Amino acid sequence: MSDHEQLVTRSEALAAAIARRDVTAVRSFLAAGFVQRSAGADGVGADTFLGNIDKIPGEILSITVQQLTVDVAGDGALVTGVQHAQLRVDGELVDDHRPFVDWFVREAGEWRVRAAVDVE
């Protein structure tokens, strides 16, 4: 499987693990020193990021990634796309599309996310 295919597969599997709120699986996708950033906010580490998954409101119906682009440079890769989440919150369907940027690094032979950036 090419690096591009591996990164697409890993991105899709990460989204599915978040949808299941499976923080053990999500942790396995994170590189040492992982940081999540949002514009204008301080970065958070893996423990806070994983804790925030449990705080997603309502029932997560699905999370998928769309419009993925992958740029590989040696042992690093930039993956951009749109996260599509569907949730049921207080009986209402929430349909959320959110652009994202993930920086993957090859660690212990696997592609893992070193930095995740939410784009509002």
**Whether the Cβ atoms of residue 113 and residue 34 lie closer than 8 Å to each other:** yes
Query: In which band, very low, low, confident or very high, does the pLDDT at 83 lie, cut at 50, 70 and 90?
Result: very high
DSSP alpha helix (H) spans, the chain: 3-19, 23-28, 46-54
Structural domains in the chain, CATH included, are 3-118 (3.10.450.50)
Query: What is the predicted pLDDT for the residue at 41?
Result: 83
Query: What is the predicted pLDDT for the residue at 6?
Result: 97
Query: What is the predicted pLDDT for the residue at 119?
Result: 85
Query: In which band, very low, low, confident or very high, does the pLDDT at 32 lie, cut at 50, 70 and 90?
Result: very high
Contacts of 19 (CB under 8 A, 6+ apart): 60, 62, 63, 85
Q: Is the dihedral of CA 113, 117, 119, 120 positive or negative?
A: positive
In this prediction, residues 99-106 reach a mean pLDDT of 97
